């Protein structure tokens, strides 16, 4: 068996105790050799000599086989104590007090003194005292006074030495523990530094990739101008879209230190400032830049139509979305203005409105003629129609009236899009308008199996308004509610006063509208997905007309709906209605 294989069998928990025992083993081996050689140290008591050798052998075996690492550290002192007693036996067996092997006492003594704990000082001192006093006790007589003095004086010296050794060992253990802890912390810091370095390299690569992506996107945005400013409106960001829109490069803009108001119409900024001063009368706005960012400063994004002025004097109609620029701490450091050129879109809308208006005018004349001739045929007494012909005539007449109403709606929406349509304001009792609309819709509701409930207060609700247009708005809401409510459902029309506002609410138990579509309901020709899915007839003009009428009266339209539950639409009107919009279109052209 090789030495390496033999050492591999040593339990991993005991090498520390065994290694501390090695010096004692070597010392005893040398003593045994000296005692065995001729003319060496004579063995005066063979049994005690052998007992000492045997005891140190037992201590060595215990150092090897006992798992001291699993026991309390204080138990390990058993090995040097046994070795110390073995030295005493060896000394008694080789001349007692005259034995030259008393020096071996230092080996287990130092081991005991270096162990943690102050109790080991006493153990080392007492053990040494026992070893040194043993010859005097065993021999009894034949010792000089000097031997006795040494036997008692030496342990005191050993005690002092044990105190010094224990303290030095204690301090060394503290320093070793601190060094080990510092080493572990250093290893942890090194590992963290390596990890941080790896993450830094990875983040740097990601940052470069993100920067390239952002730069690519930034260069690709050529259809919208993106202009960034500081808190005072000085331009510091100018994208390729802005270069295309204004015909001026970023370098030219930044070198000239342009402010964004330099590219706006002064008249529009002045009008906006006047509107702000009218709403906030406590502070007059003098900074033109405030006209662009007052809403953003209040914490909301602002989308508004403006007119940009190019350096060559050309004007560009744009829709601008203004938002704040934030730093890494979330503090506002400037503003971003994203503008979309609306010139073509507005021209297209104008042409579309002109086309709708033209078609409406062109259709009204033949439809009126058709209705006139249908009425003549119905009233012709010389050639009366049969009952079947009368039925056919009624269908044609009903559909002609339907087309005429549709043409009127188209013409009205064209007037709304142009920004002007006539209002004939007068003192109106709103309860009468609502009641009339409810009574007009009762036959249709009854035919559809829908219960129509009117809730109008007895006290009059008066305001200045156009009764014809308000009636048209209420009719549209009730008609929609009945159409979108299945048989057996209920439509409730109520009128109430809330402070200085009158509220007309039309609530149904119909099919409802998806929440994502509520914001689009007032757009022309828009129809909710629930309407198309359930094949409810209509063209999507009713709500847009209603909203235009309500807005012209200075009110608003509130819509709440839940799919499968029902819809509630409220007309909110101020008691004091603003002056009517200027009539730019002949009243005779407005369809009833």
pLDDT digits (tens, 9 = 90+) for 408-424: 666 666 666 655 667 77
Given this model, what pLDDT does residue 388 score? Answer: 81
Higher pLDDT, 414 or 258: 258
CATH classification of 426-589, choosing from 1.10.3720.10, 3.30.565.10, 2.40.50.140, 2.170.130.10?
A: 3.30.565.10
d(CA 585, CA 365): 18
Q: Answer whether 80's CB lies under 8 Å from 42's CB.
A: no
- Tokens 């609530």 belong to 507
Is pLDDT at 219 greater than 50 in this prediction?
Answer: yes
Interacting residues of 28 by C-beta distance below 8 A, sequence separation 6+: 52, 53, 56, 86, 90, 104
pLDDT at 126 exceeding the cut of 50: yes
Class of residue 336 by CB neighbours under 10 A (exposed 0-12, middle 13-18, buried 19+): middle
**Burial class for 465, CB neighbours closer than 10 Å (0-12, 13-18, 19+):** buried
Q: How far apart are the first and last CA of the chain?
A: 118
What per-residue confidence (pLDDT) applies to 282?
39
Closest CA to 148 of 99, 97, 109, 94: 97
State yes or no: pLDDT of 11 exceeds 60. no
- Give whichever of 2-16, 134-148, 194-208 has the largest mean pLDDT: 194-208
pLDDT, tens only, 329-377:
888 899 999 998 888 877 776 766 666 666 666 666 677 777 777 777 7
Domain boundaries, the chain: 3-187, 224-341, 346-417, 426-589
CATH number of 224-341: 3.30.450.20
d(CA 211, CA 205): 10
What is the pLDDT at residue 272?
Answer: 85
547-568 average pLDDT score: 83
Radius of gyration of the chain (CA): 53
C-alpha torsion sign, points 143, 146, 147, 148:
positive
Task: Read off the tokens for 572.
Answer: 């909110």
Q: pLDDT per residue over 487-508, tens digit each?
A: 889 999 998 888 888 899 999 8
Tokens of 5: 């294989």
Residue 581 pLDDT > 60? no
pTM of structure: 0.41
- What is the number of H-type helices and E-type strands within the chain? 17, 12
**3-class DSSP assignment, residue 505:** strand
Return the minimum-mean-pLDDT range out of 116-130, 131-145, 531-545, 561-575: 531-545
Q: How buried is residue 33: exposed, middle or buried, by Cβ count under 10 Å (0-12/13-18/19+)?
A: exposed
The yes-or-no verdict on residue 397 having pLDDT over 60 is yes
């Amino acid at each position: 068996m090789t030495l390496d294989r033999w050492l591999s069998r040593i339990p991993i928990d005991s090498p520390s105790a065994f290694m501390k025992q090695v010096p004692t083993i070597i010392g005893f081996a040398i003593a045994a050799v000296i005692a065995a050689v001729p003319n060496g140290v004579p063995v005066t008591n063979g049994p005690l000599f052998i007992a000492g050798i045997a005891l140190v052998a037992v201590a060595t075996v215990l150092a090897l086989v006992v798992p001291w690492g699993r026991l309390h550290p204080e138990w390990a002192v058993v090995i040097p104590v046994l070795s110390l007693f073995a030295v005493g036996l060896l000394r008694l067996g080789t001349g007692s007090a005259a034995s030259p092997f008393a020096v071996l006492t230092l080996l287990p003594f130092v081991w005991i003194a270096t162990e943690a704990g102050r109790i080991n000082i006493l153990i080392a001192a007492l053990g040494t005292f026992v070893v040194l006093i043993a010859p005097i006790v065993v021999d009894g007589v034949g010792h000089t006074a000097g031997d006795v003095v040494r036997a008692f004086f030496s342990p005191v010296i050993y005690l002092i030495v044990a105190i010094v050794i224990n303290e030095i060992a204690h301090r060394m253990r503290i320093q070793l523990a601190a060094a080990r802890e510092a080493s572990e912390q250093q290893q942890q810091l090194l590992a963290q530094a390596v990890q941080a370095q790896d993450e830094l390299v990875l983040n740097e690569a990601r940052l470069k990739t993100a920067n390239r992506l952002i730069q690519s996107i930034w260069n690709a945005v050529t259809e919208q101008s993106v202009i960034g400013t500081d808190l005072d409106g000085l331009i510091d960001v100018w994208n390729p879209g802005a270069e295309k829109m204004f015909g001026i490069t970023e370098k030219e803009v930044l070198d000239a230190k342009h402010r964004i108001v330099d590219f706006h119409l002064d008249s529009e900024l002045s009008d906006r400032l006047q509107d702000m001063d009218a709403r906030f009368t406590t502070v007059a706005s003098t900074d033109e830049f405030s006209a662009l960012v007052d809403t953003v400063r209040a914490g909301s994004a602002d989308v508004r139509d403006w007119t940009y002025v190019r350096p060559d004097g050309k004007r560009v109609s744009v829709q601008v979305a203004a938002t704040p620029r934030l730093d890494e701490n979330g503090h506002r450091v400037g503003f971003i203005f994203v503008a979309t050129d609306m010139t073509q879109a507005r021209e297209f809308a104008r042409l579309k409105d002109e086309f709708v208006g033209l078609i409406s005018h062109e259709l009204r004349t033949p439809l009126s003629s058709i209705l006139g001739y249908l009425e003549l045929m119905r009233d012709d007494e010389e050639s009366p129609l049969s009952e079947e012909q009368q039925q056919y005539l009624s269908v044609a007449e009903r559909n002609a009236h339907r087309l005429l109403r549709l043409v009127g709606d188209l013409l009205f929406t064209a007037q709304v899009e142009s920004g002007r349509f006539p209002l004939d304001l007068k003192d109106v009792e709103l309860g009468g308008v609502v009641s009339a609309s409810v009574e007009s819709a009762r036959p249709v509701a009854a035919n559809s199996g829908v219960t129509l409930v009117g809730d109008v207060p007895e006290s009059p609700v008066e305001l200045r308004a156009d009764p014809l247009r308000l009636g048209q708005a209420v009719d549209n809401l009730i008609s929609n509610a009945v159409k979108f409510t299945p048989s057996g459902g209920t439509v409730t029309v109520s009128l109430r006063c809330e402070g200085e506002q009158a509220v007309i609410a039309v609530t149904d138990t119909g099919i409802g509208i998806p929440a994502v579509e509520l914001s689009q309901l007032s757009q022309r020709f828009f129809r909710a997905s629930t309407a198309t899915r359930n094949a409810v007839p209509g063209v999507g003009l009713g709500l847009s007309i209603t909203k235009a009428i309500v807005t012209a009266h200075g009110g608003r339209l509130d819509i709440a709906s839940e799919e499968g539950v029902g819809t509630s639409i409220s007309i909110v009107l101020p008691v004091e209605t603003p002056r009517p919009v200027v009539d730019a279109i002949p009243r005779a052209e407005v369809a009833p």
